[in-house]
Amino acid sequence: MRSIIPIILLSISISSCAVFKPGSGDRKYRSIQKEVERSTVFAKSFSGMLVMDPESGKTLVNYNGDKLFIPASNTKILTLATCLSVLQDSVPGIKIASRIEQGDTTGYYAPTGDPTFLHPLFKAWQPVQKHLKSLEGWNYILLNTLQEDRFGPGWAWDDYAEPYSVERSSMPIFGNKVRLKKSGNGWALEPDILDDVISGIREGFDNAKTGLSPQRDESDNVYYIPYPDTISNGYSHDFPIHRPENLIPSLRDTLGDKFFPFVSWTEEEKQQENDLLNSLNWQTINSCPLDTVLRLMMYQSDNFVAEQLLLLCGGVKFDILGQDSIIHWVSDSLLTEFPQKPRWVDGSGLSRYNLLSPQDLAYVLQYLWKSQTKERLFDVFPAGGQDGTIQDWYKGANGQPYVYAKSGSMSGVQNLSGYLVCKSGKVLIFSFMHNNFTGSGKAWKLEMQQILEKLAQLE
């Protein structure tokens, strides 16, 4: 009896691990695994890689695939899966309702968190603006419906003035960013409509001590330029707008002058107004085609769009502009079989609190592969050598992309996860994750490119 027990335990151990390692029929992939394991570049970081057959779910290459990494913008793959499950063909732009009292009609408007409202890249899709400018009578907008802080958990506090760390809001305007630009006549803001509604541009610091770049006040929309002002004409910098929803009542020329903020002052008033709002028949005005917005999120790795879309999904699913409820729902009801239990805290991946494994990302990529068409996925994922953050990398022969993937990078982080088209036409799922290195990530990208090129030749 004693001699049998160790044999049984050994067989259990082998069978439980087999799903995560290349089997005897995968000898052609062993060279890839050995190259990853022996890479002198990857040895300078904490690295992992997983390759999976999307049809069978079989693991072909696995190096630290079960370890948790900071995913950076690979988090947007989870946001993408959420959007494709929760949202329809178009982004909900604003919710509207009305009531008639003594012959007078009063309109009520509830923002959805739509990131495209007044956004300069979505000028062709502004039905909400058109509707608001046409309003008559009394109309109220609910501007305090965001259930989250303006920044996500774990975001770097000193990034408040960086264009990649834009504040979240219930009703974004102009992408919640403003462009400060130097021209022959001095400094100006774009869009120029904001010149009249923000705090202003001021001389603020000695450039010999602080540097040449303009700065923004941390708690106000005040933009400081250095003195003496030696910055060349044509210089521009995008700044996040602080508390953008506070500017909306002042945008009369842009939105019309027939609406007012909906404000409750006492608890009794709040309860009465909540009862009123809950009794109304709400409808939705849609704005932009969903895939158009998803491409901006995926191609340019737009953090603002990713954050707002996750909040928007929470609003559609639970009528709450919050991320926690929708993240919990996805984990409990949509993506229920993560190989590891990830830590997922925001929509963009700005937070270093996020933790995902290559196996987790491969699982989500397989879910997408099973639930969406190949054509749609290859349209919303950046194509190597062509689109967005990987337009200078992973170029296919004769201009034909072979990598469709999302990058993810920040200081000490370089990731790439997506789909690989082999020379035979077969598609594989892969996830590369690298953490804990210093300096530029270029060497890691070169190494990944070399390995992916070899991998594509195996099928």
Residue 387 near residue 297 (C-beta atoms within 8 A): no
Residue 310 near residue 79 (C-beta atoms within 8 A): yes
**SS3 at position 326:** helix
Phi/psi of residue 227, nearest 5 degrees: -130, 140
Kindly state the average pLDDT of the residues 277-294: 96
**pLDDT for the residue 101:** 84
The tens digit of pLDDT for each residue in 349-375 reads 999 999 999 999 999 999 999 999 999
- The residue extents of the domains of the chain are 24-85+292-456, 92-288
The tens digit of pLDDT for each residue in 33-66 reads 999 999 999 999 999 999 999 999 999 999 999 9
**pLDDT for the residue 15:** 34
**Model pTM?**
0.92
Question: Among the listed ranges 14-28, 141-155, 238-252, which one has the minimum average pLDDT value?
Answer: 14-28
Question: Among the listed ranges 59-63, 85-89, 334-338, 393-397, which one has the minimum average pLDDT value?
Answer: 393-397
CA–CA distance, 357 with 341 (Å, rounded to integer) = 9
Kindly state the average pLDDT of the residues 324-333: 97
Question: Among the listed ranges 221-230, 313-322, 386-395, 424-433, which one has the minimum average pLDDT value?
Answer: 221-230
253: how many CB neighbours lie within 10 A of its CB?
A: 11
Q: Check whether 86 has a pLDDT greater than 90.
A: yes
Nearest one of 244, 245, 242, 208 to 227, comparing CA atoms: 208
Helix, strand, coil distribution of the chain in percent, nearest 5? 40, 25, 40
Q: Check whether 408 has a pLDDT greater than 90.
A: yes
Residue type, 51: V
The CATH code of domain 24-85+292-456 reads: 3.40.710.10
With vertex at residue 433, the alpha carbon angle to CA 430 and CA 439, rounded to the nearest 5 degrees, is 140
Nearest one of 99, 116, 444 to 288, comparing CA atoms: 116
**pLDDT for the residue 210:** 64
**pLDDT for the residue 181:** 93
Question: Among the listed ranges 196-205, 384-393, 397-406, 416-425, which one has the minimum average pLDDT value?
Answer: 196-205
Q: At what angle do helices 27-38 and 442-456 cross, to 10 degrees?
A: 170
pLDDT band at 25 (very low <50, low <70, confident <90, very high): very low
Average pLDDT, the chain: 90
In the DSSP assignment, the letter for residue 231 is P
Residue type, 98: S
**pLDDT for the residue 263:** 67
CA dihedral defined by 224, 229, 231, 232, rounded to 10 degrees? 130
Residue type, 171: M
What is the distance, to the nearest Å, from the Cα of residue 59 to the centroid of all Cα atoms in its chain? Answer: 28
**pLDDT for the residue 20:** 46
Phi/psi of residue 288, nearest 5 degrees: -105, 150
pLDDT band at 391 (very low <50, low <70, confident <90, very high): very high
**pLDDT for the residue 7:** 39
**pLDDT for the residue 264:** 63
Q: Check whether 209 has a pLDDT greater than 70.
A: no
The tens digit of pLDDT for each residue in 248-270 reads 888 887 887 777 777 666 788 77
Residue 243 near residue 167 (C-beta atoms within 8 A): yes
Q: Check whether 13 has a pLDDT greater than 50.
A: no
Residue 90 near residue 290 (C-beta atoms within 8 A): yes
Residue 273 or 159, more confident: 159
Residue 288 near residue 122 (C-beta atoms within 8 A): yes
Say if residue 359 is exposed, middle or buried (CB neighbours under 10 Å; 0-12, 13-18, 19+).
Answer: buried
Nearest one of 251, 219, 80 to 150, comparing CA atoms: 219
